[in-house]
Amino acid sequence: MFIQLKDRPQRTTTVDQVIERLRPQLAKVQGINLFLQAAQDVRVGGRGARTQYQYTLQSADLNELNSWAPRLSQALRRLPELKDVNSDQQNAGLQLTVDIDRDTAARFGITTAAIDNTLYDAFGQRQIATFYTQVNQYRVVLEVAPQVATNPSALDRIFVPAAGGQQVPLSMLVKTSETTVPLSISHQGQFPATTISFNLAPGVALGQATVAIERATARIGMPASIHGQFAGTAQAFKDSVASFFYLIIIAVLAVYMVLGVLYESYLHPITILSTIPSALVGALFALLLFGSDLNLIAVVGLVLLIGIVKKNAILMVDFALELERDGKSPVEAIYQACLLRFRPILMTSLAAMLGALPLALGHGTGSELRRPLGMSIVGGLMASQVLNLFTTPVTYLWVGRFGNWVRRGRPPRHLLRPGDAPRVPPARP
């Protein structure tokens, strides 16, 4: 059943809130289990399941997989982070196993082939004749009456001819037992697989759920021969989280190389890059404050912040270096830079924040996707605007002192005016 909600401006609740409101009502319906999930326009891999996220178990031993998959499902149902935990394992089919008592059959002179033929005549739909007419032909199939073959007691009404001609009840020649058998066996790659699907509890992020599942898997002591991994959207999330750290590092290194070429220095780009941590902390705090997940859109906002917040430090460092060339001390130069560059820094930061506010406060169609981007940008810019006026001058002075200690009396290249020759320190006697 597909339910299409009204447009976002016409309702006050999100899709997850609607599902959470319907879940306890649907649980009262007897005789059926109902599962709800938000339909995705683009499905990211994974096997189709009743819920949104999947965790797949694989093993070369089918019996071992059938034994441990229900245990893991039961353990996951006890986790408060998960809802609607279910499995695609269908191993509750009934099977009647017939074991022939060869000693008893031998006393009556009945062979195993005779018993097998009798069972096939009764339940195997043996074709015994064909009727031909002028326009069609009809096959005659031998079988017991349908009302007889509805339960295992039908074996008591079937007889096998003995060597002496008497009829022996089949129940005297066989021993029966009821067992379970899989109705279907799913595969992933070359191995049997069982997929456990789940939804998230209200207010729980996907990262929390994945950690809880990994802990539950380790707690039940599942053998190493069973390989468990996330699938679909959950696996895509883990892959993106694994590459998030490297993405930030690559972005910072790219900015550092560009600034190093611009200033012809290895140290002053560090002063400018020192503004990034405060912006990232502000963005993460804004996402946490408004209950938004650190999803892919929020990561895009963090990468954008790296390029936006560094312009505040560039404005101050450029002006401070110019004042140092005019003969002012580093302390006086960076102090004057903060005073004279405060207004342009404030104006550019406000322009960027006001431009991102519609993304953070929007309530139209698709606003759930864009809101983390606006929150990360606004929160990062607010934190960097407040903190960088204090942290950037300190970093500038420390970097300058470290550079002077490295150069040991040689003036830095960025303080030389065009045409000036670098001063060579006198040789030691």
pLDDT tops 80 at residue 21: yes
> How much is the pLDDT for 223?
86
Mean pLDDT of 101-126: 87
Q: Does position 429 have pLDDT exceeding 50, yes or no?
A: no
Same domain, 199 and 160: no
- Higher pLDDT pick, 253 / 363: 253
Number of domains forming the structure of the chain: 3
pLDDT at 424 over 60: no
Identify whether residues 221 and 281 lie together within a single domain: no
Which phi and psi angles does 300 have, rounded to 5°? -60, -40
**pLDDT for position 65:** 86
Residues 333 and 260 placed together within one structural domain of the fold: yes
Least confident of 12-26, 145-159, 329-343, 411-425: 411-425
* Residue 95, beta-bridge partner list: 179
Q: Is the pTM of this model over 0.75?
A: no
What residue numbers bound the domain in which 189 lies? 8-91+184-231
pLDDT tens-digit map of 333-349: 888 888 888 888 888 88
Give dist(CA 26, CA 32) in Å, integer: 9
Q: What percent of the chain has pLDDT over 90?
A: 1
| pLDDT band, residue 365 (cuts 50/70/90) | low
Tell me, yes or no, whether 155 lies in a domain: yes
How does DSSP assign 223-284, residue by residue?
-TTSEEEEETHHHHHHHHHHHHHHHHHHHHHHHHHHHHHHHT-SSHHHHHHTTHHHHHHHHH
Q: What is the pLDDT of residues 394-405, one digit of tens each?
A: 888 888 888 777
Alpha-carbon 41 to chain mean position: 16
Tell me if 5 sits within 8 A of 22, measured CB to CB.
no
According to DSSP, the residues that pair with 26 across neighbouring strands are none
In sequence order, the β-bridge partners of residue 141 are: 127
Tell me, what's the pLDDT at 189? 77
423 belongs to a structural domain: no
Q: Residues 26, 146: one domain? A: no
In this prediction, residue 45 carries a pLDDT of 60
Average pLDDT over residues 313-337: 84
pLDDT digits (tens, 9 = 90+) for 35-85: 888 776 666 665 667 778 888 888 888 888 888 888 998 999 999 888 888
Q: Are residues 139 and 28 in the same domain?
A: no
Q: What CATH number corresponds to the domain at position 58? A: 3.30.70.1440
**Is 323 a domain residue?**
yes
